[in-house]
Structure 1
């Protein structure tokens, strides 16, 4: 099959979107599709299938620029690529969907999109919502990654998006990886993984840390990097949390820390279908998550596979942490319930849906 798919993802970072990019692009190539990736992050080449063709700048100058700059550069590349390359192709937008749609349509090219994060973060802005609602309809097809997300899309934009859950590739998580050595003293190990941004709201976790019973000997590890790093460090210092909270930055193998944890916590204000929750569920961890739009409630089966709290409710979060020793039987049942239904994220099942989604657009 000589058809080409141009995956538009200007900024390849270190999150869930990128994990899906690696998994899906690899699967599509194995099914004889030709994959071009348009990005400013040529430095991520080694993480992708060797048969991926890179479009766009390969200059290291752009690797660490902010998203807006990368979007602009890649949109210019997309315009000229579509204008002068006449081979049969479709654009599959993973980022900057609206702008990718406009340029693709200007160049008379089929475009499909993948939305990965709930519009709750910006849909209260009337003009943004209206503009998005008009342009998204120009796409040839739209997909989202959770059923709650699909309902939200229908309610906000009256669009019947296709839902494909994130494919979970167990081969990424080899049990041969070296695990973190446990300390000699008994402690309650708590972990949170995610970019240090306002969306992830790690401040809620830090506020809860002040209320955790010291007898539990809590140790909170926050993995990730981002623009909120300094403000989080200042909060930790001001509230004398240095002994129990550690910010350890981005880690190439965060699952080494995840395996050692007793509790996994997600405090986001909005999400799509967060991969970190899938990973925590796969490793059979007790999960506490905000009931934010849209994915956590779905992954945690309405609270049957983990505890859900209101966004920003640090008091409830600390209360659940303090109750951990007394609720072990109930927590074990929640973990078992999550494992029972984990097959819905099956790698092959959901990758086949991606393949059908792409093929139907040619």
Structure 2
């Protein structure tokens, strides 16, 4: 299919979490390789700022993100602007890529006009009957792992599925030697770290419970991540929980810490206790910094990180199994420590990700 234009769309235009980063990395990679790429976004948003200059922007009004908080409004506005792009474009040979569920649903009505609409699946979060409806309505489905799809869909049509490896690029403008405030330099203590947005699906209370149950002397737990709009109650509940258990000298919450990557050098073991994930960037980043990880076995983690499990740098437990989590934390001093930076770059390389995507496009 010559002269293809790849049109990326995400309904949460101003966020820049793991799913949005993956979309931007793929769009940038395609653009750098000479492909025609467009992306619908809000001017000045995090997605806009991280896209390559060569990518054509289709800007939504600034007020869109503010008024489209209810999901149905988000989808309706998204459909409207998607139709505008579809009918105005000069290149009719366009493949539309919807990132996550809302992005895909926003583009799905274009199927009525025989447009090729792809669902870029990034999580194993189930939506019931809607999952199968969207799967069979799509032109094609891309996923980071097969296991994520098997968790969501009752029957898979392999001809409509392509598996991509995830992609990782090292943080830019990173100063690994940046000094931290003295109170966050834990000398002679085993430091556990929870990184990521502080939202309910991260299940951070479980990390605290597992850490407390392990009852390790000379150990601390740091929780690093932003307070997310709409989930302030969850952030506050964690702070309250720490106070109730009198853990003020053992558990620390660092909101929006400016030198987040320098904190990896201070952490001995990373914890991820999520109840739902795709391919968590915190695991990628942790392994890039040669840090062992203890994680809940959700989404595509076991499949995507098999090489790291085999060498002992990643230990898994079934979510909500506090006793197993506590056991792994107790045994963490004995976890294997080895250099995994180069392996991360090798397994999750940009070129491999792009080539698998283009191979899947040929199935259309």
TM-score band (shorter)? 0.7 to 0.9
Cα displacement (A) at 1:321 = 2.1
Contact 2:176/2:265, CA 8 A, preserved across alignment: no
The residue number in structure 1 matching 2:246 is 240
The residue number in structure 2 matching 1:164 is 164
Q: 1:67 to 1:250 in 2, by over 3 A?
A: farther
Segments of structure 2 that go 5 or more residues without pairing to the other structure are none
The residue number in structure 1 matching 2:87 is 83
**Which of 296, 299, 307 pairs up with 2:315?**
307
Between 1:273-282 and 1:79-88, the stretch displaced more is: 79-88
The residue number in structure 2 matching 1:195 is 197
Between 1:202-211 and 1:250-259, the stretch displaced more is: 250-259
Cα displacement (A) at 1:251 = 4.7
- Determine the C-alpha separation between the residues in 2 that align with 1:308 and 1:278: 15
Cα displacement (A) at 1:194 = 2.0
Contact 1:288/1:307, CA 8 A, preserved across alignment: yes
The residue number in structure 2 matching 1:3 is 4
Q: 1:230 to 1:350 in 2, by over 3 A?
A: same
Contact 1:8/1:93, CA 8 A, preserved across alignment: yes
Q: 1:180 to 1:297 in 2, by over 3 A?
A: farther
The residue number in structure 2 matching 1:146 is 145
**Which of 111, 117, 137 pairs up with 1:111?**
117
Q: 1:145 to 1:215 in 2, by over 3 A?
A: same
Contact 1:11/1:67, CA 8 A, preserved across alignment: no
- Determine the C-alpha separation between the residues in 2 that align with 1:30 and 1:337: 27
- Determine the C-alpha separation between the residues in 2 that align with 1:30 and 1:192: 34
Contact 2:22/2:167, CA 8 A, preserved across alignment: yes
**Which of 249, 255, 262 pairs up with 2:261?**
255
- Determine the C-alpha separation between the residues in 2 that align with 1:261 and 1:340: 20
The residue number in structure 2 matching 1:285 is 291
TM-score, structure 2 length as denominator? 0.84
The residue number in structure 2 matching 1:357 is 360
Other structure's SS at 2:264 match: helix
- Determine the C-alpha separation between the residues in 2 that align with 1:41 and 1:274: 27
Between 1:301-310 and 1:282-291, the stretch displaced more is: 301-310
Q: 1:180 to 1:2 in 2, by over 3 A?
A: farther
How is 1:178-217 mapped onto 2 (pairs within 5 angstroms)?
A: 178-181=177-180, 183=185, 185-213=187-215, 215-217=217-219
The residue number in structure 2 matching 1:59 is 62
- Determine the C-alpha separation between the residues in 1 that align with 2:210 and 2:43: 37
- Determine the C-alpha separation between the residues in 2 that align with 1:184 and 1:270: 31
Q: 1:66 to 1:257 in 2, by over 3 A?
A: farther
- Determine the C-alpha separation between the residues in 2 that align with 1:67 and 1:5: 28
Q: 1:301 to 1:151 in 2, by over 3 A?
A: farther
Q: 1:38 to 1:184 in 2, by over 3 A?
A: closer
Contact 1:189/1:262, CA 8 A, preserved across alignment: yes
The residue number in structure 1 matching 2:326 is 318
Cα displacement (A) at 1:207 = 1.6
The residue number in structure 2 matching 1:136 is 135
How many residues are matched? 347
Q: 1:54 to 1:173 in 2, by over 3 A?
A: closer
Cα displacement (A) at 1:143 = 0.7
Cα displacement (A) at 1:302 = 8.3
The residue number in structure 2 matching 1:38 is 40
Other structure's SS at 1:37 match: strand
The residue number in structure 2 matching 1:74 is 78
The residue number in structure 1 matching 2:272 is 266
The residue number in structure 2 matching 1:294 is 300
Other structure's SS at 1:308 match: strand
Structure 2 residue 346 is matched with structure 1 residue 343: yes
- Determine the C-alpha separation between the residues in 1 that align with 2:264 and 2:146: 27
Contact 1:309/1:316, CA 8 A, preserved across alignment: yes
RMSD: 2.9
TM-score, structure 1 length as denominator? 0.84
Cα displacement (A) at 1:338 = 9.2
